[in-house]
Amino acid sequence: MGLDINTKKAKKNAFRISKERGIGASRIRVPGGYLKAEILGMVQEIAEKYGNGIVHLTTRQGFEIEGIHLEDMDAINEMLQPIIELLDINQQDEGTGYPASGTRNITACIGNNVCPFANYNTASFAKRVEKEIFPNDLHFKVAFTGCPNDCGKVRLHDFGIIGMTMPQYDPSRCVNCQACVKGCKSLSVNALRVENYKIVRDEEKCIGCGVCITKCPTRAFTRSKQKYYKLTLMGRTGKKNPRLGEDFLIWADEDSIVKIILNTYRFVKEYIDPKAPGGKEHIGYIIDRVGFEEFKKWALEGVELLPETKMKECVYWNGIHFDR
Amino acid sequence: MGYQLSRKTADEVFGKLKERYDIFAPKLFQGEGCFSDTDIIRYGKIDSLDEIEYERRSDYSFKEALIAINETLFYFTEDETTVPSCTDKKLLIFLRSCDLHALKRLDAIYLENGPEDFYYKRLREKASFVLMGCSQTCDTGFCVSMGANQTDQYDLYLKLDGDFVLVDCKSEELAGYFQHLETEDCAVTADYVTENKENVTLPKNLSVDSFQNPIWESYGSRCIGCGRCNFVCPTCTCFTMQDIHYRDNSNVGERRRVWASCQVDGYTDIAGGNSFRKTQGERMRFKVMHKIYDFEKRFGYPMCIGCGRCDAVCPEYISYANLISQLAKEEA
């Protein structure tokens, strides 16, 4: 009797069907790539009991337990339960593994848990968005990075969130050592200059990276209480037209970004190609088809941007076209 | 001799003091540290005892309450200069034993080193000092090694102890605030530490020959010249001058003095474009020898009081304490 497996169901349940007949892989999402070390032991246990002892660290900061027998999926799902609970993944039925796989694991650089450059806690924002958007079958890629260095490579994602801070300058604490000016010039965009021994920040040029703040030896430059983000849209890899995500919002707040991502799910449900293979069409191609204006209308519904948020009225993408 | 009063009474006294004094104390500035979601403890004007950060040592010292980071010396027009007026209020500054020892160094530099400094003096005369005891040592301090762990040179000692406040008042000016209060007399001795985690021995035989020591280059090559060690130091007093010509009318402006750092580019620049100490190693040598050699030759005691702030703030993990201990070890 041959193996009788519903591969669509298995894939949705976060199992991979491998090139070797009967063999697959179990995929574990780790929002923000931030996890307690005890989970590693659990992954090891599954890999040694049901897999071939090999684990792949996926490109999206998850684990893929290799070499599992597809008939063991139910047993593996049982063993995944404590991992799912420790990582606080939304789930409908206990012991049944992951309820969806379309919306991909949310990735993040290490962020301000560790990195001196980061402007916010990337892992906790990633987890907040995970709670909002998972489970969902639609193919969404969201990534977080702490600062405009973009170590998280978020411009290759549908939604890229880049941490920003609005430098607060207290001239009465400034000694004109120019560490900020030199730092901004060598590490960032050269947005600072000196006038009458004090610093003038070019607000148009400043990308809110925070280098001036980390360089300041007297706390003349400090971070804004409000945390700001740049939201980049519709970067992608792929066969047709790989491209970097483009800026949509600059100096945006957390709530607006969450709303825009949720609104985009509604937009995609409305406009996704009903004949898309496997129900999977990248959002970027949908926007290319229906137009940015229409996307924007849906995305901004109910969104109240901060007065200081700058929005690009229209977004144009370049990238490489292999499909023309 | 001292007394114990209830926290409520102490808060009332504080309210009265505020009418006559600007009160400065170490405060936690949330989110204002170098890095995201980090805090900083530095001096600021306070409105209640609750605002004082009593547990941890401040990252920046009390000196900014006496020597503004930027101080306008005078405003000038084409034919007149005006000296800005000084605050009408008196000053009350909360600080620790090491800081009070540092105050002696500030006084030495600004009042006993040639002509008295007008701007320092006019604020200093208004200032009274409240000692915050240390019930335990901070991490990088070596006040015991420097003999700065204890002091009786305070105007007021104040210890917050839950619902009670312990007070020892040495100043007549402040004593009036505590008379006619419901207090209980009790013996109050200021808390101080007798041991630090860091013990530092000063080298005793530094001389011009010490210039050749390779230690300066070895530390200098690690130094990024940011000046944090100077800016947090309670005994660094260097400043530079800035003449600001207002943009709308360049014949009018002001002269300021602004904190300077011997580690930062520009400190030894002179007319003609030369600069005396070009490398960070030379600058490190200058700083260390000023702290523990040159100053002592002039005043009879070392400048450094062992607060350890420079070690705690250095982004390149350069330990000044370790550097001077190494110098001492080499001599032995």
Residue of A121, A168, A219, A224 for testing the chain B interface, max B β-carbons within 10 Å: A219
B158 and B229 belong to one structural domain: no
Q: Are residues B123 and B213 in the same domain?
A: no
Residue A49, token pair as written in the block: 């009991």
Full domain range(s) for residue B313: 208-239+262-331
A30's enclosing H/E stretch is: none
Asked if residue B249 belongs to a domain, the reply is no
Check: CB of residue A149 under 8 Å from CB of residue A116. Answer: no
Can you read off the two tokens belonging to residue B251? 């014949």
Rounded percentage of chain A residues whose pLDDT exceeds 70:
100
Q: Do B172 and B217 fall within a single domain?
A: no
- The share of chain B scoring above pLDDT 70, in percent, equals 100
Is the ipTM reported for this complex over the cut 0.90?
yes
pLDDT, one tens digit per residue, over B273-312 is: 999 999 999 999 999 999 999 999 999 999 999 999 999 9
**Does residue B127 lie within any of the structural domains?**
yes
Query: Residue A312 carries which DSSP code?
Result: -
Same domain, B33 and B169: yes
Residue B1 is predicted with a pLDDT of: 65
Q: Is B129 on the interface with A (CB under 8 A)?
A: no
Contact of B36 with chain A, judged by CB distance below 8 Å, is answered with yes
Element (H, E) at A17: strand A15-17
**What pLDDT sits at residue B186?**
87
CA–CA dist A197, A207 (Å, integer)? 23
Residues B53 and B130 in one domain: yes
The CATH T-level fold of domain A7-86 is Alpha-Beta Plaits (3.30.70)
How confident is the prediction for chain A on average, in pLDDT? 97
Section A259-272 average pLDDT: 98
Residue B80 maps to a domain: no
What band does B332 get if pLDDT is binned at 50, 70 and 90? confident
Question: Does residue B282 lie in a domain region?
Answer: yes
Interchain proximity B261–A173, CB inside 8 Å: no
- Same domain for B270 and B230? yes
Distance CA A284, CA A291 (A): 10
Q: How many structural domains are present in chain B?
A: 2
Pair B53, B110 in one domain? yes
Which residues of chain A have a Cβ shorter than 8 Å from any chain B Cβ? 112, 116, 118-121, 146, 163, 165, 171-179, 195-197, 210, 213-219, 222-223, 225
Annotation: CATH topology of A107-164+227-311: Sulfite Reductase Hemoprotein; domain 1 (3.30.413)
3-state secondary structure B177-209: CCCCCCCEEECCCCCCCCCCCCCCCCCCCCCHH
Per-position b or e across A123-150, b if 16+ CB within 10 A of its CB: bbbbbbbbeebbbbebbbbbbbbbbbbb
Asked if B36 and A120 come within 8 Å (Cβ–Cβ), the reply is: yes
Neighbours of A278 (CB within 10 A): 11
Which pLDDT belongs to residue B201?
Answer: 94
Q: What is the pLDDT of residues A64-88, one digit of tens each?
A: 999 999 999 999 999 999 999 999 9
List the one residue out of B92, B66, B86 whose CA is nearest residue B13.
B92
Residue B76 — pLDDT band, cuts 50, 70, 90? very high
- Contact between residue A50 and residue A66 where contact means Cβ atoms under 8 Å apart: no
Two tokens, residue B20:
């006559």
Closest residue in A to B314 (Cα–Cα): A217
Listed by start position, the domains of chain A span 7-86, 107-164+227-311, 169-207
Q: Do B34 and A213 touch (CB under 8 A)?
A: yes
**Shared domain check, B22 and B97:** yes
Domain-located, residue B199: no
Strand runs (DSSP E) across chain B, as ranges?
2-6, 21-29, 40-45, 70-76, 81-82, 90-95, 127-131, 156-161, 164-169, 184-186, 239-245, 253-259
The verdict on B137 and B223 lying in the same domain is no
Task: Examine residue B15 and state whether it is found in any structural domain, yes or no.
Answer: yes
Q: What's A32's DSSP letter? A: G
pLDDT at residue A1, rounded to an integer: 72
Subunit contact A121:B37, Cβ cutoff 8 A: yes
Number of H helices, E strands in chain A: 9, 14
Contact check, Cβ <8 Å, A213/B228 = no
For residue A135, cis peptide bond before it (omega within 30 degrees of 0): yes
* pLDDT of amino acid B177: 93
A127 against B207, higher pLDDT: A127
Q: Which of A22, A92, A98 is nearest to A63 (CA)?
A: A98
Q: Does residue B81 belong to any structural domain of this protein? A: no
